[in-house]
Structure 1
Amino acid sequence: MKVEKQSFGKTASGEEALLYTITNKNGMSVNFTDFGAIIVKIIVPDRWGKLEDVVLGYDDLASYEHNEPGYGSLIGRNANRIKNAVIHINNKTYNLEKNDGQNNLHGGSISYNKYMYKTKVLCEDNLASIEFFRVSPDMEQGFPGELKVSMTYTLTDDNELILKYHAVSNQDTVVNLTNHSYFNLSGHGSGTVLNQKVKILANEFTPTDDELIPTGEIREVSGTPMDFQTLKSIGQDIFKDYIPLKQAGGYDHNYILNNYKNNQGNTVEKAAELMDDKSGRVMEVYTDMPGMQLYTGNFITGTETGKEGFVYEKQGGVCFETQYYPNSCNTPNFPSSIRKAGETYDHCTIFKFSVSK
């Protein structure tokens, strides 16, 4: 296992950013930067051994300072949407930034992907880890409590990329962290993911209103275009005349994972799978989180240049954002994203890569 680092340039404020690369014995490699704790590249072999970068992103630091789609990003303090950009904790109201209509999205326009992180590197024979950590001060983004947060990425020789989230606050607060990588198993510049197949181990999802805020309803996926209980192509039903798909312009919905329903997330279990028949690449998603947002890049504009000069198309990547449900801090019948002072937030997600026969 090999870990390398190099300069990734300076931020607009003059801070030096570094690019870290972990490579395993199979030739799989992952690039990260301490600006935003962002995943910059994931390079994995296809069924013939050809290596390809399978996540959307940018070649330069300046682009990541803007990064409106959130490519590769650590998202916090709260992933996804909060209705009316308001939270209530201990009978006190906190007003957040309205950066998505009247709602708060991903904590605000400055999410956790816009800060510099300190780093620790651990390298062993069969795995290597990089921990990115910082202190989010009290009332940053409008959230109460000083939050000590760390994001640890580990690459194994089994082609597993393990994401471990850890946080603790000195006040009761909302904590809901995720990673916002856009995957395209044919290669980041290969076009849309509509022909790639998805399976989600979830019997239910949370329908939304027109602003993509869950209504509180829990709905069965069976018999609807939301059903991914068996492998099917993303494009098979995405353009169907179905209200949730019309509201979001595609898939942008939270699935209630069976693992959490069955054992309250006490173990890390398989939640989803992405398969690309063209390259033979397969990615399995494992997590202990209660929900997962399937997002098919519906808001990619088709005008912005990404890595290697490619202009990414709408639906050019798909996200598997493991999470507490959107607006769960304000919805009593959802698993709560509120952490008590001193209570540890520890969650794990794994992206495991392989090839089909």
Structure 2
Amino acid sequence: MKRIIAFTLALPLIGLTPAQAATAERKPFGTLRDGRAVEAITLSNAKGMRATVLNYGAILQSVMVPDRAGRSEEVTLGYNDMQGYLEKPNYFGATVGRYANRIKAGSFAIDGRQYKLALNNNGNALHGGPLGYDKRLWTVEKVTDGPTASVVMRYVSPDGEEGYPGALTVTATYSLDEDNALTVEYSATTTKPTIVNITNHSFFNLGGEASQRSIYDHYLTIPADATTPVDASLIPTGEIRPVDGTPFDFRRPTRIGERIRDGRDPQIVFGQGYDENFVIARDVSKAPRLHARVEDATTGRVLDILSNQPGVQLYTGNFLDGTAIGRSNHAYRQGDGIALEPQVFPDTPNQPAFGSARLDRGQTYRNIIIYRFSTTAPRN
């Protein structure tokens, strides 16, 4: 797969007053079971948007965004303290890797050598294994104020960790600008040939995390003509299936709940709702392109998600079962949040037709994700 150059967002400095400049603040968040301290870094702008990132799991812990009336509310699922992230993580806001999504039987080959990964999902490897990047303490490298506030974190994954070859040096950079765009850039280099697929697993509810309204009334647009359907174990079959005539056609704004219970489609049955990769393109691009738009008519909040990756996994929180009690003492259940995860296709190392997830020494992996928030007028 062709590697890309970095894409950056910048704002002109002319006319920007200190009151308009985004800020970054570091605070303690808690401790791990072994006593190591966890930090929270909060990025804020003058428009009332605030994003908080933990150096545990490089987790996007909180996103506060104004609605059309200017009221700022929490729009992600998550916890107020470390206890929740340690006991019921559910990948809320997490950075997942070394390989996001599933690898069949946790097995793949590079240059004729077979590698076996740690298994954690019905005999498959999911999101990097039981001790993936979401459960590692990252090092805070840099925190910056300015027109764009940012935090840079770093994690070095040893050769052989969870079964993956090569020592991988990973950075996660979160940046917030004055246009309510939160950019997450993942980059990685390796000491030997390996596979890489890193993404963010935030669950969003634009109606507000405390609203106790599901995301089924949100309108979703995904500019994809096809998906990669899965079998009963949620492993891709290898087919590229057109979305025409299926519940997966989101090429026009569609209410999420409109077809989420359509049991005539085996994909809905296997995933217990939406849990499928959409084909945005067949290669990594030089610049981010639109992957999805989510709209909540009640609050007017709109979220555009852009990335340079070829696929986006849509997941509607189907396996949330009420046992995770979130930051508003809300028992999270199916449909309380939507995750849209830009990435290469699941099980790509075992599916040559999907492209490549390989990274060689001297190359740099990059996944650039932009969460761009805005508001819209009421629907007629």
TM-score, length basis structure 2: 0.91
What letter is aligned with 2:219? K
Aligned to 1:183: 204
**SS of the counterpart of 2:367?**
strand
Aligned to 2:272: 249
Query: Conserved in 2, the CA contact under 8 Å of 1:121 and 1:128?
Result: no
Alpha-carbon distance between aligned partners in 2 of 1:181 and 1:291, rounded to the nearest angstrom: 16
Residues 119-198 of structure 1: matches in 2 within 5 Å?
119-191=140-212, 192-198=214-220
Aligned to 1:224: 246
1:325 aligns with 2:345: yes
Residues 1-357 of structure 1: matches in 2 within 5 Å?
1-191=22-212, 192-241=214-263, 242-257=265-280, 260-261=281-282, 264-357=284-377
**SS of the counterpart of 2:332?**
coil
Alpha-carbon distance between aligned partners in 1 of 2:284 and 2:200, rounded to the nearest angstrom: 21
Alpha-carbon distance between aligned partners in 2 of 1:130 and 1:67, rounded to the nearest angstrom: 26
Alpha-carbon distance between aligned partners in 2 of 1:113 and 1:93, rounded to the nearest angstrom: 25
- Cα deviation for residue 125 of structure 1 reads 3.2
Query: Conserved in 1, the CA contact under 8 Å of 2:323 and 2:332?
Result: yes
Encode CA deviations 1:156-214: one digit per residue, 9 max, x unaligned.
Answer: 00000001110000110010000000000011132311111100011110011100100
**SS of the counterpart of 1:65?**
helix
**SS of the counterpart of 1:267?**
coil
**SS of the counterpart of 2:77?**
coil
Greater Cα shift, 201-210 or 1-10 = 1-10
Query: Conserved in 2, the CA contact under 8 Å of 1:189 and 1:312?
Result: no
Alpha-carbon distance between aligned partners in 2 of 1:125 and 1:18, rounded to the nearest angstrom: 21
**SS of the counterpart of 2:331?**
coil
What letter is aligned with 2:179? D
Alpha-carbon distance between aligned partners in 2 of 1:320 and 1:190, rounded to the nearest angstrom: 20
Alpha-carbon distance between aligned partners in 2 of 1:337 and 1:233, rounded to the nearest angstrom: 33
How many pairs are equivalent? 354
Q: For the aligned residues, what is the CA RMSD?
A: 1.1
What letter is aligned with 1:245? I
Shift >4 Å, 4+ stretches: none
Structure 2 segments unaligned to the other structure (5+ residues): 1-21
- How many percent of aligned residue pairs carry the same amino acid? 37
Alpha-carbon distance between aligned partners in 2 of 1:38 and 1:158, rounded to the nearest angstrom: 22
- Cα deviation for residue 347 of structure 1 reads 2.0
- Cα deviation for residue 102 of structure 1 reads 1.3
**SS of the counterpart of 2:61?**
strand
Query: Conserved in 1, the CA contact under 8 Å of 2:142 and 2:153?
Result: no
Encode CA deviations 1:67-117: one digit per residue, 9 max, x unaligned.
Answer: 441000000000000001111111111111221111111111111011111
